[in-house]
Chain A
Amino acid sequence: MSAIRVPVVEKIFSTNDKIANQNRQNLTDKKVLAINLMASPGAGKTSFILETIKRLQDQFRIGVIEGDTAPVTIDADKIISAGMPAVQINTGGDCHLDASMMGDGLASLPLEDLDLVIVENVGNLICPAAWDLGTHFNLLVASVPEGDDKPYKYPNIYRGLEILIINKVDLQPYVEFKMDYFRHGVEMLNPGLITFPVSCRTGEGMDAWIEWLSKKITDFKNIV
């Protein structure tokens, strides 16, 4: 018997990353843009998705993958009644979606007929940041009532973003939320991050986001 050192140097997430890359390739081959939408519980993820669908449904076909920790289909039902295909994934108590769950979700969606897939991740600001799902970009829905200190407390999720939505801006007069302080934290973690302040309730700011997203979907179809 002898002890031997075997060099490995492999990322512990390598299996997940491999599956994520397969998902991304599958989506890209079918010219479907995919967004990983993350947020804390109650930030307005489902409302934001519904408002986005409402404004884009005449132009694009949108599918939704709903990640939830419990076997409830409340969110998926809302999307389906808005007329778009949705699939619910129950993580069985797990705090995040991973690439293999995302692959199962994609298999249940009619990708050939879609232009955009929005993945609603489990409401959580910590765990979803560590798992690549195989989407094309990461989006966070932050919201004013959560407080302006969230970028400082959850730096990892802010660092990996391509898009930041600040929801519920209509509540700013009623809660302690210093926009400058919030944005200062974001700027440190992710300089120049594309940010859209919106209110799903009043519709404020949604036009700018929709214009940006429409262009992104169209450009993606033309490039790939």
Chain B
Amino acid sequence: MHELSVTESLLNLALSHANQANATKVIAINIVIGRLSSIVDDSVQFYWDFVTEDSICAGAKLNFDRRPAVLHCADCASDYTIDHDLTPCPKCGGMRTTIISGEEFFLDSIEIEKEAEKIS
């Protein structure tokens, strides 16, 4: 249930980069989200339309680049992908694992429009 504050943080971050780039409108927001980050992307999408009202991000499309959860087994040195539950290494049954990817949650890029620069 914390997606509202997450969505507000996302908007603030996108706006600050859009303003720096002198954007007049933001067309799309590209987000990287890992399987293990405790963020529900449907909820972010739901709040997005509300929080962006009256901003240059209104109507911007949210693109989610979903990354799988990949674990590394310290016992047999193999990497394996898990879905949701944490499971021991399927090769050797080892439990000494480290997470290689799946915890990502960042704003990768924004797509903007801006007025053609005037040459005086």
Contact = CB atoms under 8 A, between A and B. Distances in A.
A1 interface: yes
A2 B86 contact: no
A188 B97 CA distance: 7
Interface of A: 1-16, 94-96, 98, 126-127, 129-131, 152, 155-156, 159, 184-185, 187-189, 191
B116 interface: yes
30 contacts: A1-B115, A2-B114, A2-B116, A3-B111, A3-B113, A4-B21, A5-B109, A6-B18, A6-B109, A6-B111, A8-B14, A8-B110, A9-B107, A10-B13, A10-B107, A12-B31, A12-B105, A12-B106, A13-B9, A94-B5, A127-B38, A130-B37, A152-B85, A155-B86, A156-B36, A159-B99, A184-B95, A189-B86, A191-B95, A191-B97
B115 A12 contact: no
Interface of B: 1-2, 5-6, 9-10, 12-14, 17-18, 21, 23, 27, 31, 36-39, 85-86, 88, 95-97, 99, 105-116
A188 B1 contact: no
A28 B18 CA distance: 36
Among A8, A9, A15: residue with most chain B CB under 10 A: A8
Contacts of B2: 94-96, 126-127, 130-131
A10 B106 contact: yes
B92 to A, nearest CB: 14
A11 B39 CA distance: 13
Contacts of A188: 86, 88, 95, 97
Contacts of A126: 1-2, 38
Nearest to B97: A188
Nearest to B85: A152
A12 B107 contact: yes
Contacts of A8: 13-14, 17, 106-110
Contact of A14 (B6, B13, B96, B110): B13
A8 B106 CA distance: 9
B64 to A, nearest CB: 12
Contact of A4 (B5, B99, B111): B111
Contacts of A187: 95
B17 to A, nearest CB: 5
A16 B9 contact: yes
B105 A9 contact: no
Contact of A12 (B13, B36, B95, B97): B13
Contacts of B18: 6
Contacts of B9: 12-13, 15-16
A191 B95 CA distance: 8
A43 to B, nearest CB: 19
B95 to A, nearest CB: 5
